[in-house]
Structure formats: structure tokens, C-alpha cells
Structure 1
Amino acid sequence: MKIIIVGNGKVGFTLAEHLSQEEHDVTVIDTNDEALRHASDALDVMCVKGNGAAISPLEEAGVSNADVVIAATNLDEINMVCCLTAKRLGAKFTIARVRNVEYAMEFSHLKDELGVDLAINPENATAVEISRLLRFPPAANIETFCRGRVELIGFRVREGDFLVGAPLSAQSRKLQSLSMLLCAAERESGEVVIPDGSFVPQVGDHLYLVGDPVGLTSFFRLLGRHTPKSRDVLVVGGGRIAHYLAVILDRIGMQVKIIERSMERCRHLSEVLPHAMILCGDGTDQELLEQENVSATDAFVALTDRDEDNLIISLYAMQQGIPKVVAKCNRQNYVGIAHAAGLDSIISPKMITASHILQVVRGMQNSKGSVMNALYKIADGRAEAMEFMVNETTHNLNIPLRDLRLKKGILIAVLVRNGKIIIPDGSSVISSGDIVILISRNHGILDINDIFEDSLLDMGAAQ
């Protein structure tokens, strides 16, 4: 597909990186020479210098033949004008990054007039992700499928966990009876494994479970880690994510305290968030945190503009014994360091945005095949979790899974049939109308048929 990305900041570069790796024809437009040079040197993309809201740069990038135009600059207004211009010049599908809270609230009424087919709000999506973690503190990360009926939860294996040192096949029947499955594991070395019965969990592994929320809750009770949702939340940094998060948490009955260093921003937050406590000060100041009795809070969320500050104050919060600590960090090279230090819940707005847009692009590529309803990057982007709707185009229907030859690194994790969640075994079959949740390592899956070895795919087509 021909894809034009306007804006080569954090989100734009991440999108260009993933889309070019999936062999799309990607063109990046930006006004910054250094940003374009970085993209040209690091990625297989074409670069055009100019304002993406203007006609000439878009025409130079080939907008009339573009399948998708993604406007991801730092200015919402430019993104919206860019989409409007691109649509009138012939672009088939446009995506705009819209961050302003006021625009986001009214955008559903403006999309058609502005020529925007899809609006992405990274800050709101990040706030939703954080709120899930605060509702279920034992998880390092949570993704949802089938409108919340299925969840994928990541957690770190600790010393003393009953899983340690024994193969999965030897675990108790009580554990095996739960409506959940261990679907992926990330070793401390960075190796990502799709586990089978012989897999032996080790201390430090980051494990991923998928299944019924009730079954997952029962598992964490068996593990001795189940805790109720957070009640008092301290947020450092009063930007857009903090605003969206405070609104969500207020709705579900959590008390929020926000520390923000800008007095002007504090005044604004006080006006729009009447139920939150807003404090003006430096949230990275240890003395201030001690004055605010940080150790007594249920959860700590670091949302400043600097990844380094977020990680440092989050590590301090962990030392104070706060049950749940979440840090925003967009730099992937910091994530491994943070995990090694014991900080598991790290949120990346740019990765959340990239996953959403990748899902849309893959769905457009495969418009005649099975429908991809969800796509999440897990294990620091080295694996993917996907949700597909099975239809008549799917091969190998009603054949026991034990008789299928799947590509290496593919796991059929969950089937949802008529609203019932099924953790499949060898005798299970895929039927038309099912929702299938897959885990994939090292594959860019567009269609559920991509999981089969070619030799078997042809056989299934003939049946």
C-alpha cells in the first residue's frame, strides 16, 4: 500500500518504521531537515520536505495515489487541514492525530466536514490503558478483546511463585481448570517464547496470560497477588494524559491528586477537574513527595514530559512501597533498563497509537478476508496479539487443531463462539462466525489464513 505520513516526530517515526518493515511504500513529509535525514538514514522510506497541509508537498509525495494519509504532527489544526487537503487531492483514507481535549469531545461531529476518516487520540488511549492497570493492580499490562470479555494480562514472575521451576504440564489441575492460557513469555535475556507444556517459568520472566477475566482473577488469587482496585492515585505531571485519566478515574470512584509545576496549568486543571486535588510543585522533588505522604497512596503514575524523570521518580515510588506504580516512557531503549530494575508497568503513547493504526492498515489490506478487530504489540514489540472474526474465506474450518500445521511462533489462544469463551485443546476446531485470538512471534499477520503452512492452506481450500 502507498502510505504518506505527515510529521516525523515520535509517533510518525514509529509508524514509518513499522509500516516500512511490513513492506509498504512509505513517504514521510516534514519541515525539519534533521528529522527527514534521520528517517532517510534509518528507514526504507521516501522523504519530502514541506508543510503537509500544503498542496505542493502532498502532490510531490503522490497523494492522488495514496491509500492512506496519516497526519501526525504536533498541531491538531495542521493534521485536520492536511486530511482535508489530502482527501480533496484523491487520498482514499485519512487518519488524523487529534490531542486537544476540546477538539476530541466534538470531533465526532466534525469528521465528515474535515475529510478525516479516523481520528486517533494518543493521550486518551494512554489514559484508558492506565485506568485498566489501576483497576487491576497485579497486572503489568492489560489488553482487552471482544469488548472486554477476554483480557490479556502480563506480569513478572517472582521468587516464591508456585509456577517457578516446574513445567506447565505439571501444574495443578486447579490451575489447568481455569478459563485462561499462558500464551507468551519474555525471558530476561529478551528472548520471546510461545510456551508449550514443557515450558518452565523462571524468576524474572514476563509472562502473558489470556482468558476470561474471572479466570485471570482466580489465577492471581492462587498466586497470592490479588489486590482490590486502587482508591487513591497520585499523578505527577498535569498534561493531557493526566486530564483524561482524572476524568476516567473520577467516573469509577477513585480519588486523584495531581502535582504539576506550571501554575497556569494548575489553574486550568482546577477549573476542569473539580473533584481532583491539584498541587503546584515539582513532582520530581523528593521532599515534596514526602510532604504529600506519597507512601500512603495506593497508586503512583508518572506522566511528566521527560522519560528519565518518569522512570527515576517511579523507582523512588517503588522504594516507598506503593502497591502500583505506572510510568510513561516513549523511548524503547529505556524499557529494558526499567524492567531490570523491577518497574513493570510502562506505558508508551507512541506504541499504543502505532498499534491502532497498524490494525487499521492491515484491515484495509485484507478487506476481503477475515476481519481483524484488534492488534496489540506485546513483549516490547517482539510479539503481537490479534483478534480475528472467522468467515467463509477462512481455510481449514472444522478440522481439529491437532491436525493443523501452524507456522512456527503462532498460537491459537482463545476461541469465542456464541459468546462462550473456549480455551482450545487439540480436539477444538475453528468454525465460521468464531472470534479467534492469536499470538504471533515474528509474523506480520494480515489474515487468519496467514497462520497456516502453505501446504496445508491449499489442502484446506480444496475441502
Structure 2
Amino acid sequence: MKIIIVGDGKVGYTLAEHLSQEEHNVTVIDTRDDALRRASEALDVMCVKGNGASISALMEAGAHSADVIIAATSMDEVNMICCLTAKQLGAKFTIARVRNVEYAMDLSKRKKELGIDLAINPENATAVEISRLLRFPTATNIETFCRGRVELMGFRVREGDFIANQPLSAQTGKIRNLPMLICAAEREDGEVIIPDGSFTPQVGDRLYLVGQPAGLNAFFRLLGRHTSKLHSAFIVGGGRISHYLTAILLKLGMRVKIVERDMDRCLHLSDVLPQAMVIHGDGTDQELLEEENAMASDAFISLTDRDEDNLIISLYAVQQGVTKVVAKSNRQNYAGIAHAAGLDSIISPKLITASQILQVVRGIQNSKGSVMTALYKICDGHAEALEFIANETTHNRGVPLKDLRLKKGILIAVLVHEGQIIIPDGSSSITAGDTVILVSRNHGILDLNDIYDESMLDLGAVQ
């Protein structure tokens, strides 16, 4: 597909990287020479220098024949004008990144007249992701499928865990009978594994579980990791993510403190979030953290604009024994270092945004096949968890899974058949209308038919 990305910042570059790897025809528009030079040298993309809201730049990039326009500059107004102009020029589908809280509230009523097919709010999506982690502190990340009826959670294997150093095939019946499955693993050296029965978890591995929430809860109780509800949160940084997150946590009945160094921002937050305590100061200052008793909070969340500051003060909170610590970091090379140091929950707004947009792009590309309804990047972006709805175009319906030959690195993790959630075994099969949740490593899956080994013939379409 022909895709134009306006804005080559963190989100724009990440999208260009993923979409070019999936062999789309990608053009990047930006006003900065250094950003365009970086994209041109590192990625297989075309580059156009100019303002993405201008007709001349969009025409030079070929907006009139574009399948998708993604406006991801740092300015909401530019993104909205870009979508409107591109739509008038003939672009088929437009996506705008809109971050301003006031704009986001009004946009649902005005998207059509602004020429926006999809509005993405990275800060709100990140806040929702963090709130999930605070509702289940044991997990390093949580993703939802089937409107919350199925969840995917990550956790770190610790010394003394009964699951460590034993192959999955040797685990007790208590584990095997739970409505859940270990669907992916990431080793400390970064190796990503889609496990089978011979896989042996090791201390330090990050394992990913998928299944019914009750099954996951039961597993963590067996593991001795079931924790009580969190009642208080200490947030460093008063940006948009903090605004959205605090609003969510207050509705959940939690007490929230926010530390922000900009006085004007403090006054604004105090005005719009009167139930929260807003403190003017430097949240990276250890003396301030001690004065405000930050380490006595149930949760510590660092959301400043500097990844380095977020990771350093979050590691300090981990050392002080805070129950749940979450840090924002968009730099993937930092994530591995932080994980090794004991900080498990690292949130990347750019990856969350990229996943949302990639899901939409793949859905447009595969409009005649099975419908993709969710896509999440896991294992620090090295694997994906996807949800599809099988239909009449899906091959090998009714064929037992044990008779299918899947591409290496793909696991069918959950089937939802006629409302029933199934952790599949070899006798299970896919039928039209089923929801299929799968995990994929190193494959850009567009359609359920992409999971089969190319040398495998269609075994039939048994209903």
C-alpha cells in the first residue's frame, strides 16, 4: 500500500520502520533536514521536505493516490489540517495523532467534517495501559482481547518459583487444568521463544500468559504473587499522560500525588483535578521524594519527558520496595538494561501508538480476508499478539490443529467459539465466526491464512 507519514519524530519514525519492513510504499514528510536524513539512510522510504499541512508537500508526496495518510507531528492543529487537506486531495484513509485533552473530548463529534477517519491519542492510551497494571500489580504488562474476556499478562520468573527449571510438560495438573497458556517467553539476553512442552522457564525469564482472567488470577495465587488492591499512587511529571491517568485513578478511588516542576502546569492540574494533591518541585530530587514520603505509596509512576530520569528514579523506587513501579521510556535500548536491573513495567507510548496504527493498516490491506480486531507488541516489540475473526475466506476450517503445519514462531493461543473461551489442544479446530488469538514472532501477519506454512495445501474447508 502507498502510505504517507507526516512527522518524523519518535512515533513517525517507528511507524516508518515497521511499515517499510512490511514492504509498504512509505513516504515521510518533515520540515527538518536531520530527521529526513536519518530516515533516508536507515529505512527504505522516500522523503519529502515540507510542511505536511501544505498542499504542495502533500501533492509532492502523492497524497492524491495514497491509501493511508498518518499525521503524527507534534502539533495537533497541523495533524488535523493535514488530514483535511489530504482527504480533499483524494487520500483514501486518514489517521491523526491528537494529544490535546480539549481537542480529544470534542473530536468524536467533528471527525468527519475534519476529514479524519481515525484519531489516535497516545497519552490517553498510555494512561489506560498504566491503569491496568495498577489494577493487577503482579503483571509487567496487561493486554485485553474479546472485550476483556481474555487477557495477556507478562511476569518475571523469580528464584524459588515452582515453575522455574522444569519443562512445561512436567508442570503439575493444577497448572495444566487452568484456563490459560504460557504463550511467549523473553530471555534476559533478549531471545524470544514461542514455547512448546519442552520449554524450561529459567529465573529471569519474562513469561507471557494468555487466558481467562480467573485462570490468570489462580495461577498467580499458586505462584504466591497475588497482591491486594493498591490505594495510593505517586506520579512524577505532570504532563498529559499524568492528567489522563490521574482522572482514571481517582475514579477507581485511589489517592494520587503528582510532582511537577512547572508552576503553571501545577496550577492547571490543581484546577482540573481538585481531588489530587499537586506538588511543585523536582520529582527526581531524592530529598523531595523523602519529604513527601513517596516510597510509602503503593504505586510509583515516573512520567517525565526524560527517559533517563524516569528509569533512574524508578529503579530507586524498586530498591525502596514500592509495591508497583512503572516508568515511561520510548528508547527500546534502555528497556533491556532496566529489566536486568529489576524494573519490569516499562511503558512506551510510541509502541502503543504504533501497534494501534499497524492494526488499522493491516486491516485495510486485508479488507477481504479475516478481520484483525487487536494487535499488541510484546517482548519489547520483538513479537506480536493478534486477534482475528475467522470467516469463509479462512483456510483449513474444521481441521484439527494437530494436522496443521504452522510457520515457525506462531502459536494459536486461544479460540472463542460460540462465546466459549477455549485453550486449544490438538483436537481443536477453527470454524467460521470464531475469534482466534495468536502469538507471532518475526511475522507481519495480515490474515489468518498467513499463519500456515506456504508448502501446506488447503486441507479443506470443513464447517
Question: For each residue in 1:250-295, what CA deviation from the matched residue of structure 2 results, as whole angstroms up to 9, or x when unmatched?
Answer: 1111111100011100000000001111000000000000011122
Count of aligned residue pairs for this structure pair? 463
1:28 counterpart residue number:
28
Partner Cα separation in structure 2 for residue 250 and residue 338 of structure 1: 29
Matched to 1:26, the amino acid is V
Does 2:74 align with 1:66? no
Alignment of 1:296-445 (within 5 A): 296-445=296-445
Question: For each residue in 1:55-96, what CA deviation from the matched residue of structure 2 results, as whole angstroms up to 9, or x when unmatched?
Answer: 001000001110000000000000000000000000000000
1:81 counterpart residue number:
81
Matched to 1:453, the amino acid is D
Partner Cα separation in structure 1 for residue 245 and residue 418 of structure 2: 34
Does 2:321 align with 1:291? no
SS of equivalent to 1:458: coil
1:107 counterpart residue number:
107
Partner Cα separation in structure 2 for residue 420 and residue 226 of structure 1: 26
SS of equivalent to 1:455: coil
Question: For each residue in 1:289-347, what CA deviation from the matched residue of structure 2 results, as whole angstroms up to 9, or x when unmatched?
Answer: 00111221100000000000000000011111101000000011101100110101000
Partner Cα separation in structure 1 for residue 347 and residue 387 of structure 2: 21
2:194 counterpart residue number:
194
SS of equivalent to 1:388: strand
Q: CA deviation at 1:137?
A: 0.1
Of 256-265 and 451-460, deviating more is 451-460
Q: CA deviation at 1:461?
A: 6.1
Partner Cα separation in structure 1 for residue 312 and residue 206 of structure 2: 21
SS of equivalent to 1:336: helix
SS of equivalent to 1:453: coil
Q: CA deviation at 1:194?
A: 0.7
Q: CA deviation at 1:228?
A: 2.0
Matched to 1:5, the amino acid is I
Q: CA deviation at 1:33?
A: 0.5
1:126 counterpart residue number:
126
Partner Cα separation in structure 2 for residue 351 and residue 251 of structure 1: 26
Assess, with a 3 A threshold, how the Cα gap between structure 1 residues 153 and 462 changes in structure 2: closer, same or farther. closer
Alignment of 1:9-48 (within 5 A): 9-48=9-48
Off by >6 Å, runs of 4+ in structure 1: none
Gaps of 5+ in 1: none
2:372–2:389: 8 Å Cα contact kept in structure 1?
Answer: yes
1:359–1:375: 8 Å Cα contact kept in structure 2?
Answer: yes
1:262 counterpart residue number:
262
2:397–2:461: 8 Å Cα contact kept in structure 1?
Answer: no
Matched to 1:34, the amino acid is D
Partner Cα separation in structure 1 for residue 49 and residue 152 of structure 2: 41
Matched to 1:344, the amino acid is D
Partner Cα separation in structure 1 for residue 328 and residue 168 of structure 2: 33
1:192–1:382: 8 Å Cα contact kept in structure 2?
Answer: yes
1:449–1:457: 8 Å Cα contact kept in structure 2?
Answer: no
2:246 counterpart residue number:
246
1:216 counterpart residue number:
216
Root mean square deviation of aligned Cα:
1.0
2:236 counterpart residue number:
236
1:179 counterpart residue number:
179
Question: For each residue in 1:144-166, what CA deviation from the matched residue of structure 2 results, as whole angstroms up to 9, or x when unmatched?
Answer: 00010000000100000001111
Partner Cα separation in structure 1 for residue 347 and residue 354 of structure 2: 13
1:140–1:153: 8 Å Cα contact kept in structure 2?
Answer: yes
1:396–1:457: 8 Å Cα contact kept in structure 2?
Answer: no
Partner Cα separation in structure 1 for residue 196 and residue 103 of structure 2: 47
1:296–1:322: 8 Å Cα contact kept in structure 2?
Answer: yes
Question: For each residue in 1:164-208, what CA deviation from the matched residue of structure 2 results, as whole angstroms up to 9, or x when unmatched?
Answer: 111111111011111000000011111111111111100000000
Matched to 1:75, the amino acid is M
Q: CA deviation at 1:416?
A: 0.8
Partner Cα separation in structure 1 for residue 110 and residue 434 of structure 2: 35
Partner Cα separation in structure 2 for residue 315 and residue 407 of structure 1: 39
Of 453-462 and 95-104, deviating more is 453-462
Partner Cα separation in structure 2 for residue 229 and residue 139 of structure 1: 13
Partner Cα separation in structure 1 for residue 461 and residue 430 of structure 2: 14
2:414–2:422: 8 Å Cα contact kept in structure 1?
Answer: yes
Partner Cα separation in structure 2 for residue 250 and residue 462 of structure 1: 51
Assess, with a 3 A threshold, how the Cα gap between structure 1 residues 26 and 236 changes in structure 2: closer, same or farther. same
Partner Cα separation in structure 1 for residue 459 and residue 135 of structure 2: 46
Gaps of 5+ in 2: none
Partner Cα separation in structure 2 for residue 253 and residue 391 of structure 1: 42
Partner Cα separation in structure 2 for residue 104 and residue 145 of structure 1: 24
